[in-house]
Amino acid sequence: MRRPIIAGNWKMNNTIAAGTALIKALTPLVKDVKDVDIVACPTATALQAVRAAAEGTNIHIGAQNVHWAANGAYTGEISTEMLTEIGVEYVVLGHSERRDYFGETDEGVNKRAKAAFAAGLTPIICCGESLEIREKGTYLAFVAGQIKAALNGFTAQQVAKLVAAYEPIWAIGTGKTATFEQAEEVCAHIRKTVAEMFNQTAADEIRIQYGGSVKPATIRGLMEKPNVDGALVGGAALKAADFSEIVKF
């Protein structure tokens, strides 16, 4: 059985003060959760303080991006060692906001994912189609293409340890959650793509999250779907009460 993983992507929200306060508020609400991996992904400047605030709790820390190079002339970027040195365990990669607003490509996501995995970080690799692609009806092929590109060069054993996040762009921040069936259809297709590209074990073990307007009211229906193993939560992860309810689906 795959262990559920619920991650909060804080995006460009929460200073050190606000982020540590959120962790302090969240900690008692989720302390008894044993069978779910809980991850909080603050901005880079708050990572170290939020990690310290989460010390000794069941809340793990993820970054929102990482560069592929070990170091060097990459202004504005952060290396894997800079994350591992402060105890970061996960990293969100290829979020649609990175792709759409900052020109990140499938090839870059693949390079970031390989570097992150090699450094011992668990990549959360995002994929998902725009409304235009959804309406054209080509979304399964589009998402499969993103997944194939992101996983190029990995081995089956490595892929088994990764996390993928299906986030339809039309459902992000819009209040418009995909139906449980829509989420399941694409998550199942991602798993099938992994089986074809690697093997059945990798497909059975990779964890696949759904993301896009996940709320306490929708998490259970999503988690009941056989191919949805968790959620990548944006807005609702900024409130301790909402995020704790989601974690305790």
Catalytic residue numbers read 95, 167
Report how far residue 104's alpha carbon sits from residue 90's, in angstroms, rounded to the nearest whole number.
Answer: 19
- The residue among 40 and 156 lying less far from ligand 13P, judged by its C-beta, is 40
In the complex, least distance from residue 31 CB atom to ligand 13P, rounded to whole angstroms: 24
The answer to whether the CB of 161 falls within 8 A of the CB of 122 is yes
Provide the token pair at 97: 């906001």
- 129 touches ligand 13P (CB under 6 A): no
Site stretch for ligand 13P (CB under 6 A), options 68-76, 99-107, 193-201, 208-216: 208-216
Q: Which of 17, 173, 217, 241 touches ligand 13P by CB under 6 A?
A: 173
Q: Which of 164, 206, 214, 222 touches ligand 13P by CB under 6 A?
A: 214
Q: Which residue is nearest to ligand 13P (CB)?
A: 234
Phi, psi of 21 (to 5 degrees): -65, -40
Helix pair angle (139-151, 180-197), 10° resolution? 40
234 Cβ neighbours under 8 A, 6+ residues apart: 8, 9, 11, 172, 173, 211, 213, 214
The C-alpha angle with vertex 70 and arms to 158 and 56, in degrees rounded to 5, equals 65
The answer to whether the CB of 40 falls within 8 A of the CB of 237 is yes
- 70-81 residues labelled b (16+ CB within 10 A) or e (exposed): eeeeeeebbbbe
Q: Which of 65, 110, 213, 218 touches ligand 13P by CB under 6 A?
A: 213
Helix pair angle (240-247, 216-223), 10° resolution? 20
Strands 90-93 and 122-127: parallel
Site stretch for ligand 13P (CB under 6 A), options 43-51, 133-141, 199-207, 234-242: 234-242
In the complex, least distance from residue 167 CB atom to ligand 13P, rounded to whole angstroms: 5
In the complex, least distance from residue 172 CB atom to ligand 13P, rounded to whole angstroms: 4
Site stretch for ligand 13P (CB under 6 A), options 24-32, 103-111, 194-202, 227-235: 227-235
- The residue among 65 and 227 lying less far from ligand 13P, judged by its C-beta, is 65
- The residue among 82 and 214 lying less far from ligand 13P, judged by its C-beta, is 214
Q: In the range 51-110, which residues lie near ligand 13P by CB under 6 A?
A: 95
In the complex, least distance from residue 195 CB atom to ligand 13P, rounded to whole angstroms: 25
- 235 touches ligand 13P (CB under 6 A): yes
Q: Which of 19, 62, 94, 211 touches ligand 13P by CB under 6 A?
A: 211
Binding residues (CB under 6 A) for ligand 13P: these are 9, 95, 167, 172-173, 211-214, 232-236
